[in-house]
Amino acid sequence: VTSLALRVHGATHTGNVREGNEDAHVLDRELGLYAVLDGMGGAMGGDVASAKARDVIHAYVKSKRQAMAPRDLMAAAIGAASAAVFEEAKSRRDRKGMGTTVVACLLVDERRAVIAHVGDSRAYLLREGRLQQLTRDHTIVAELLEKGAISPEDAAHSAYKSVLSRNLGNKPEARPDVVEIALQAGDRLLLCSDGLYGYASGEAVLHLLGGGEGPEQVTRDLIEAALRGGGGDNVTTIVLEVGRAAVPRATQVIRSTGAVSWWARRPLFLQAARDAGLAQSAICAVLSPEEAIEIVAGNLCEAVFHDLEQTTGINVWTYAENLAHGWFDQGGDYEVLRELVDILRGASMAVIADIRAGGDSLAIMLEIAVTRALIVAEVAIGNVLAERLRAIEAELVRATPAIAPPPPPAGTAALASSSTGLAASASGSMPQMSAEGAQQTFVEQRTIPYMQAVRIDPPSPAVARCLEEARARAIAAIGADDRAGRREVADCIERAHRAALAPTGPSDAVLAARELYGVRALEESGMAPLLDALDQARMAHVRAVRELDAGIEEKVTAMRRVSTAHQRMVGAVTALVIESGGPITARLQEATERTAGLRAEVGRNEARLAELERRAAAARAARPQIGAEP
């Protein structure tokens, strides 16, 4: 077995809740054997079971390594461990019921590994950024799930999801699952107990395992992630990294050389900030110029240094958050803060430029890392601004009751008077929505006009039936039509139908419009197909309502609801188009002006060309006369 270019590290932790650690692990680089065992039985000797199994497996593999094929060897070793634990449990009454899980990896050579397991300890493979679970939990719930007896949702919430269907110790023989995998350079294997994946999210595991840190750091980080997630169980992890070249990782370079190079250029950073006029920023108004440089620029330089050194972003985040909070609390403008950040960014780039003179590789790595730090700063400022936005919106809502209510729109005046309306609402007696016709009023509490809460009551059963029938008829009608875009029309009808039924009012229509519009910039696709579909949907839907065989009152109400839903959808889509088109309006204007200028120039040139042609024709006409002269 070769351990060339293999880095491995393992660690275990009791967790935040348990008093003792019943996990055990094997780390034998010489033998190429790595294993995690999770004992169970508590007072019955879970720790004894895992330790016993660990020792037996280790001794078995060591003694039979050359004599047996790797897969058979691992299966036999686990079988021997199970028999030993079973015998131990049988020999002492206080240890009856003890057992253990195991997941073990035997490196056959540089390119192959054998993974064997029993129970719910797991093995993962990280390859090219993708995390794959190599083992299948031997639990009752997992087996029921595999047979299709329960759904994944039921499995996730089952009280029995930790009950093992197989373990080492409850029977003399074990039935391990054994797989052989081919290894590639850069692969990472993770062996872990359920104390890791039960408390750290899969995303966190993927992030940490694929994050470029060495196995030692990753092992520590994984355990920390499990502890932060609650740490309700013992947690053990082993991380193996296979076949990586000995080139220092960028992260390592940044943490060492990069951070030191950055800090060594602190005077340059401060000077660049000074030259760019940082001390003149309004944010530094209460500081002397030197204080401004030392405090504002110096602190950022130090925060970046610590973040580079520790491969984190927390220092820059805190710096930017404090700066933004302090400035905005004084009523400061974002533009001033942005200019200050730009000055600091410029100073950072001056440092990078200086480092680049000594070698491009480090400079590029450092620029990436420093730009990342500045992104963190931007996002921290964004968070502070978003908080302020929410606070201001809350102030707006609070400020409004002091203002006289706005006059109701002309179309709703009758409704307001007939169903008590705003005045009743303001006096505390909520209007009751008894009649189907009184579909709009002011509910909850008064607020600012553009946030006015509007509610449409659910339709009566008779109207709901009308709406449902109209929807079906409309879709059937467009279904007979073979034109392209039929699906979009049907989609519009469905959404309008839901909006017509919705008790929440126009918000459904607005949401429907946003879903129809999707996330796209205006310039990337024309709006005509969507607007055509909306138009066809409206016509088909209204026609279907008109043709309904129902009472006149129900038909009128259904028609009003359908029309309102369509109008709101079209209105919302139009608003989206305008919203999306805003940023490019200036460009269109500019293009139009340029086009007009070019057209004028073409006109002038054509006139000039015509004049030249006219003169040429005159010259040609004059030439024979000259030749005819004696």
Partner 1 sequence: MKRRFSIRMMPAGFGPLPRCSIGRMGQRHAQLFESLRRDLLDRLVEVRGSLDHAYARMPEAAVRPQLEAVVDKMQGYLATQDLQSYRSSAASHMAMRVGEGFAPENVIHAVIAIGDVAVQTAQTRLAGHPECAELVLAITRLNFIAARTLVGLVADDVRRRSQQRDLLLSSSQTPGQTAGPVPGGVRS
Stretch that binds partner 1, among 270-278, 447-455, 467-475, 597-605 (CB under 8 A): 447-455
- Single residue of 5, 392, 413, 612 touching partner 1 by CB under 8 A: 392
Burial level of 337, CB count in 10 A (0-12/13-18/19+)? buried
Is residue 144 within 8 Å of 155, Cβ to Cβ? Answer: yes
The residues that bridge with 40 in the sheet, in sequence order, are 99
Does 248 bind partner 1 (CB under 8 A)? Our answer is yes
The helix/strand/coil state of 277 is coil
Q: What's the min distance (Å) between Cβ of 167 and partner 1?
A: 32
Stretch that binds partner 1, among 153-161, 365-373, 541-549, 595-603 (CB under 8 A): 365-373
Span 450-469, contacts to partner 1 by CB under 8 A: 450
Stretch that binds partner 1, among 11-19, 175-183, 503-511, 532-540 (CB under 8 A): 503-511
Q: Which is nearer to partner 1, 263 or 556 (CB)?
A: 263
Does 410 bind partner 1 (CB under 8 A)? Our answer is no
Q: What's the min distance (Å) between Cβ of 54 and partner 1?
A: 32
Q: What's the min distance (Å) between Cβ of 487 and partner 1?
A: 14
Span 179-198, contacts to partner 1 by CB under 8 A: 186
- Single residue of 288, 361, 589, 592 touching partner 1 by CB under 8 A: 361
How many Å is the Cα radius of gyration of the chain?
37
- Single residue of 172, 289, 326, 406 touching partner 1 by CB under 8 A: 406
Give residues with Cβ within 8 angstroms of 252, minimum separation 6. 214
Stretch that binds partner 1, among 149-157, 383-391, 457-465, 475-483 (CB under 8 A): 383-391
CA 115 to chain centre: 33
- Single residue of 7, 9, 372, 498 touching partner 1 by CB under 8 A: 372
Span 158-177, contacts to partner 1 by CB under 8 A: none
* Structure tokens, 18: 């348990």
Span 93-132, contacts to partner 1 by CB under 8 A: 128-130
Backbone angles phi, psi at 137, to 5 degrees: -60, 135
Give residues with Cβ within 8 angstroms of 310, minimum separation 6. 255
Q: Which is nearer to partner 1, 236 or 251 (CB)?
A: 251
# of chain residues touching partner 1 (CB under 8 A): 91
CA 55/CA 58 separation, integer angstroms: 5
Length of the chain: 630
Give residues with Cβ within 8 angstroms of 69, minimum separation 6. none
Does 317 bind partner 1 (CB under 8 A)? Our answer is yes
Is residue 12 within 8 Å of 23, Cβ to Cβ? Answer: yes
Q: Which amino acid is at 540?
A: A
* Structure tokens, 286: 């209460």
CA 55/CA 62 separation, integer angstroms: 11
Q: What's the min distance (Å) between Cβ of 113 and partner 1?
A: 21
Span 551-610, contacts to partner 1 by CB under 8 A: 572, 575-576, 579-580, 582-584, 587
Does 133 bind partner 1 (CB under 8 A)? Our answer is no
Does 305 bind partner 1 (CB under 8 A)? Our answer is no
* Structure tokens, 331: 């009523």
- Single residue of 4, 43, 182, 402 touching partner 1 by CB under 8 A: 402
Backbone angles phi, psi at 278, to 5 degrees: -60, -40
- Single residue of 260, 353, 386, 435 touching partner 1 by CB under 8 A: 386
Does 266 bind partner 1 (CB under 8 A)? Our answer is no
Stretch that binds partner 1, among 21-29, 444-452, 458-466, 479-487 (CB under 8 A): 444-452
Is residue 352 within 8 Å of 370, Cβ to Cβ? Answer: yes
Closest CA to 82 of 167, 181, 180: 167
Does 367 bind partner 1 (CB under 8 A)? Our answer is yes
Is residue 325 within 8 Å of 384, Cβ to Cβ? Answer: yes
* Structure tokens, 621: 């006409």
- Single residue of 403, 414, 596, 609 touching partner 1 by CB under 8 A: 403
Stretch that binds partner 1, among 10-18, 111-119, 374-382, 491-499 (CB under 8 A): 374-382
Does 250 bind partner 1 (CB under 8 A)? Our answer is yes
Measured over the CA atoms of residue 198, residue 202, residue 204 and residue 208, the dihedral's sign is positive
- Single residue of 338, 487, 543, 614 touching partner 1 by CB under 8 A: 338
Stretch that binds partner 1, among 151-159, 287-295, 402-410, 531-539 (CB under 8 A): 402-410
Q: Which is nearer to partner 1, 80 or 570 (CB)?
A: 570
- Single residue of 105, 142, 226, 254 touching partner 1 by CB under 8 A: 254
Q: What's the min distance (Å) between Cβ of 127 and partner 1?
A: 10
Q: Which is nearer to partner 1, 290 or 579 (CB)?
A: 579
Q: What's the min distance (Å) between Cβ of 271 and partner 1?
A: 23
Stretch that binds partner 1, among 94-102, 164-172, 371-379, 594-602 (CB under 8 A): 371-379
The residues that bridge with 25 in the sheet, in sequence order, are 36
The arrangement of strands across the sheet holding 235-242 comes to: 6-13, 235-242, 188-192, 122-127, 130-133
Does 543 bind partner 1 (CB under 8 A)? Our answer is no
Residue ranges in 518-551 assigned as alpha helix (H): 528-546
Please, what's the b/e burial string for 45-74 (b: 16 or more CB within 10 A of its CB; e: otherwise)? bbbbbbbbbbebbbebbeeebeebebbebb
Does 287 bind partner 1 (CB under 8 A)? Our answer is no
Span 218-247, contacts to partner 1 by CB under 8 A: 244-245, 247
Q: What's the min distance (Å) between Cβ of 609 and partner 1?
A: 35
CA 286/CA 302 separation, integer angstroms: 22
The DSSP annotation for 562-623 comes to: HHHHHHHHHHHHHHHHHHHHHHHHHHHHHHHHHHHHHHHHHHHHHHHHHHHHHHHHHHHHHH
Does 523 bind partner 1 (CB under 8 A)? Our answer is yes
CA 509/CA 492 separation, integer angstroms: 10
